[in-house]
Amino acid sequence: MIRFSSSLFNRPALFICAGIGITLATTAVTVASLYEMRLDAMAQARVAAQNLVISLQNEIERNLDMYQLAMRDVATSVGTTSIVGLPPEVRQLVAFGSATNAKELGSLFATDATGKLVLDSRSVMPRKLDVSGRDYFQIHWRQKNAGLYISAPYLPYTAASGLPQPRIALSRRLEDKNGDFAGIVGGTLRLSYFRQLFEHSILGRHDTITLLRTDGTVLMRQPFHETDIGKSLAGGHSFEPLVQADHGTYTDIAVLDHIERLYTFRRVGSYPLVVVVGVATDDIFAGWRKRAIAIGIVSVILDVLLILLSLMFSRQLRKRLNMERRLQRLAWFDPLTGLPNRTQLQREALLMLTNGKRNGSTLAVLFIDLDRFKRVNDTQGHAIGDEVLSEISRRLKNQIHTGDVIGRLGGDEFFAVLQECDVLKAKNVAERILRAVCQPILINTKQDTRITISASIGIALSPHDGDEPGILLRNADLAMYRAKSSGRNQLRFYAPEYEREAKEQLELEIALQRALRGDALHVVYQPKVDATGVLRGVEALVRWDNDGQGSIAPDRFIAIAEESGLIAEMDAWVMGEACRQLAEWRAEGLEIPNMSVNVCAADFKHPDYPGFVTDTLKSHGLLATDLTLEMTERVLFDESVDDIRKTLDAIQALGIALSIDDFGTGYSSLSYLHRFAVKELKIDKSFVQGIGRDQMAESLAQTLIHIGEILKLTVTAEGVETQAQRDFLGTYGCHLYQGFLFSRPLAPSDFACWMRQQSCPSPGDADAKRPEVAL
């Protein structure tokens, strides 16, 4: 699994932002380049229009200049004195000759002061025409300084052939030698000349070329519409600069067709004419628009792809991060309860300890262990066990403050670290936890099922009990262990002697293990006699001579054996030894009716305990009836009670007798006596020894005998030390007696001597040689 260590990779949103950022940037660049391209298109169009307008202007100017020259020639010919005297026909001929140069454009003519044609380039003889009504004649007639006048378009009086062609006239005033009006010299120009000129120059469908008089009168416009000719454009808002400047460019919406164009204009030399080329902005931008659309589409596709990619990438990343987080959770948190696990707890505890050290504050760690949780699992199943654990962890979480931490170490063990916590506060929190855990737990999956459980809590304080998480955890564990062994559902603070004791315990455990493998264990035997003093059975009791420490009380080392799991092995050895001894004694001729062996819950958890017992009996030639198993009531309240019950049933089926040891000190639930066909009740020595001293003990002993009587069980009193005790018990019908009054537990040879009391005058006392701590 790849781990993304970079913080960048921890933020999937960054990739979306980056995607959007890049998209915006590329969009901005695209828009800017499109804008640039648009400006370029406009600049190119402007240059093209300017070039066109220049060439048109040059062409028109050149032709008009030529025309003017021809007109001047005509004027000169008209005014030449040498010619004046000539008859009109001759003069006409001269003029005709002068005008041929300009014939392609139109015709040249001259009038007298009344407007009658005196010269006409179109015919050898001037036509009989009067132009005094024309605007160009009127202007010159009225104004002395009209200069070169360009007329408004008009139709000729006569058409040479077909339809009359509109035309304009260029005219100048003629004066006699006195400076008085003598007529005009003029030239007509067919507008079709401009039309052809413009037609050849036109660029696009919506482009225009217009020839204007400076007063705004349209002389020609391409595309050609007859109605446009003669219209006035004066008054439009672009008109003023158009006629005032020599040349220029502007954008405007046409008055004539309402199309927006880029207009480039130029004055035709010194003539009162302006050529205007208009290029439709739509056309200018047509190519650009196509490209812009293509680029736009591509850029949108790319942007969408980019955003999709960044979304996909960030989604992938998010998935991966979630997975990583889940893995981290698994690594640091307990999946069942969601609480921090051991690793996480240690990290947090270390952090809190470091902070505590810095601030000089105390810190408490609580080791919380549920009591008999295994029983819940065994009797209710693991699913309900899990429900219980989840509910308990919820309750635990509710009992601690923010800033404190609680986690699960595993199984039914929890661990809390409380910061800035003194003895009192730790005690309060622990008591609260004990109360919270004790509340019945309603199981959701099984209606009406309520489970009640308790906890044992060990507390260690830092820095007093340690300043490292590991040490505090161990010390709290030791204290918890003490709380458990003191009866559960309570709290204990760590004390240094716990550690010493734990160490000793461990040393004893190791020594016991060694003893079990070696030959440091042996068995002693205590007789059980009836009211007449006849031997009815023997109890086998284990002894351990520890090299270094002398004899160790069975109560102590048996507890150690139970806790360390050595007990089953030890009991098996005792069972073998006791059976062997019984067989040996019988072989020696001693009549010993029955052997009692002490057993505990751990023995019954052996996979095939009944098989083992059968094999042991068989290997020594004994019968099931030769053996009695003594067990305390505790066995029936063990966590694995179901397995134990099965084993007990099997043992009972074999015909081996069961005896309830220390009867009256435990749970004393009478139903099991019947359920397991118990044969014997052993009244605990504490009651026996209270006889004569303690009323309560006496009446209890009495009651226990009574119970045995009712249930038809053999009642054996143990720990009978005095005759008074013996007599008291005898009065109430006790069946068997065991105790120092009859014999201490004896080594095998001593026991044999005890049997042959008469022949063996002073029997050795095994426990007397090895003083018993418990006695």
Q: Is 555 in the site for ligand C2E (CB under 6 A)?
A: yes
Cβ nearer to ligand C2E, comparing 169 with 720: 720
In sequence order, what are the residues at sequence separation of 6 or more whose Cβ sits closer than 8 angstroms to the Cβ of residue 163? none
Q: Is 537 in the site for ligand C2E (CB under 6 A)?
A: no
Measured torsion, CA atoms of residues 614, 617, 618, 623, in degrees rounded to the nearest 10: -100
- How far apart are alpha carbons 276 and 278 in whole angstroms? 6
Kindly tell me which residue out of 542, 635, 658, 746 binds ligand C2E, with binding defined by CB under 6 A.
542
Long-range contacts of 492-496 (CB under 8 A, 24+ apart): 492/456, 492/457, 492/458, 492/459, 493/423, 493/426, 493/427, 493/458, 493/459, 493/460, 493/461, 494/458, 494/459, 494/460, 494/461, 494/465
- How far apart are alpha carbons 663 and 686 in whole angstroms? 10
Cβ nearer to ligand C2E, comparing 284 with 574: 574
At residue 146, φ and ψ (nearest 5 deg) are: -65, -20
Site for ligand C2E in 442-501 (CB under 6 A): none
Cβ nearer to Ca ion, comparing 430 with 600: 600
Q: Is 73 in the site for Ca ion (CB under 5 A)?
A: no
User: Which of Ca ion, ligand C2E, none lies near 745, with the C-beta cut-off 5 to 8 A by kind?
Assistant: ligand C2E
In the complex, least distance from residue 632 CB atom to ligand C2E, rounded to whole angstroms: 7
Could you tell me if 210 and 218 are in contact, meaning their C-beta atoms sit under 8 angstroms apart? yes
| Helix, strand, coil tally for the chain in percent (to 5) | 50, 20, 30
Kindly tell me which residue out of 527, 719, 748, 763 binds ligand C2E, with binding defined by CB under 6 A.
719
Cβ nearer to ligand C2E, comparing 375 with 685: 685
Binding window for Ca ion (CB under 5 A); candidates: 268-276, 279-287, 481-489, 716-724:
716-724
Binding window for ligand C2E (CB under 6 A); candidates: 86-94, 126-134, 177-185, 738-746:
738-746
Cβ nearer to Ca ion, comparing 626 with 661: 661
In sequence order, what are the residues at sequence separation of 6 or more whose Cβ sits closer than 8 angstroms to the Cβ of residue 726? 720, 737, 741
Binding window for ligand C2E (CB under 6 A); candidates: 183-191, 376-384, 597-605, 640-648:
597-605
In the complex, least distance from residue 767 CB atom to ligand C2E, rounded to whole angstroms: 6
Kindly tell me which residue out of 598, 616, 702, 714 binds ligand C2E, with binding defined by CB under 6 A.
598
Which ranges of 589-640 would DSSP assign to H, the alpha helix?
A: 601-604, 609-619
Neighbours of 244 (CB within 10 A): 10
Kindly tell me which residue out of 168, 600, 636, 697 binds ligand C2E, with binding defined by CB under 6 A.
600
In the complex, least distance from residue 739 CB atom to ligand C2E, rounded to whole angstroms: 3
Site for ligand C2E in 654-683 (CB under 6 A): 661-662
Closest alpha carbon to 542 in 509, 519, 510, 514: 519
User: Which of ligand C2E, Ca ion, none lies near 571, with the C-beta cut-off 5 to 8 A by kind?
Assistant: ligand C2E
Kindly tell me which residue out of 356, 537, 739, 748 binds ligand C2E, with binding defined by CB under 6 A.
739
In the complex, least distance from residue 365 CB atom to Ca ion, rounded to whole angstroms: 40
Q: Is 612 in the site for ligand C2E (CB under 6 A)?
A: no
DSSP one-letter string for 405-460: EEEEEETTEEEEEEES--HHHHHHHHHHHHHHHHS-EE-SSSTT-EE---EEEEEE
In the complex, least distance from residue 397 CB atom to Ca ion, rounded to whole angstroms: 45
Q: Is 356 left (phi over 0), alpha (psi -120 to 50) or beta?
A: alpha
Kindly tell me which residue out of 73, 603, 626, 661 binds Ca ion, with binding defined by CB under 5 A.
661
Please give the C-alpha separations between residue 25 and each of 32, 34, 244, in angstroms, as whole numbers: 10, 14, 46
Q: Is 536 in the site for ligand C2E (CB under 6 A)?
A: no
Q: Is 747 in the site for ligand C2E (CB under 6 A)?
A: no
Closest alpha carbon to 243 in 232, 230, 259: 232
Binding window for Ca ion (CB under 5 A); candidates: 115-123, 163-171, 353-361, 657-665:
657-665
In the complex, least distance from residue 774 CB atom to ligand C2E, rounded to whole angstroms: 4
Site for Ca ion in 186-205 (CB under 5 A): none
At residue 341, φ and ψ (nearest 5 deg) are: -90, -175
Site for ligand C2E in 682-701 (CB under 6 A): 685
Kindly tell me which residue out of 61, 120, 404, 718 binds ligand C2E, with binding defined by CB under 6 A.
718
Kindly tell me which residue out of 541, 627, 636, 766 binds ligand C2E, with binding defined by CB under 6 A.
541
Cβ nearer to ligand C2E, comparing 271 with 687: 687
In sequence order, what are the residues at sequence separation of 6 or more whose Cβ sits closer than 8 angstroms to the Cβ of residue 223? 202, 208
What number of chain residues touch Ca ion (CB under 5 A)?
5
Q: Is 766 in the site for ligand C2E (CB under 6 A)?
A: no
In the complex, least distance from residue 490 CB atom to ligand C2E, rounded to whole angstroms: 25
User: Which of ligand C2E, Ca ion, none lies near 84, with the C-beta cut-off 5 to 8 A by kind?
Assistant: none
- How far apart are alpha carbons 420 and 361 in whole angstroms? 5
At residue 215, φ and ψ (nearest 5 deg) are: -85, 5
- How far apart are alpha carbons 265 and 52 in whole angstroms? 10
User: Which of ligand C2E, Ca ion, none lies near 719, with the C-beta cut-off 5 to 8 A by kind?
Assistant: ligand C2E
- How far apart are alpha carbons 306 and 312 in whole angstroms? 10
Burial class (CB in 10 A: 0-12, 13-18, 19+), 227: exposed
Could you tell me if 356 and 51 are in contact, meaning their C-beta atoms sit under 8 angstroms apart? no
In the complex, least distance from residue 410 CB atom to ligand C2E, rounded to whole angstroms: 30
Measured torsion, CA atoms of residues 103, 106, 108, 113, in degrees rounded to the nearest 10: 170
**List of residues contacting ligand C2E (CB under 6 A):** 526, 541-542, 553-555, 558, 571, 574, 598-600, 630, 661-662, 685, 718-721, 739-740, 745, 772, 774-775
| Contact footprint for Ca ion (CB under 5 A) | 598, 630, 661-662, 718
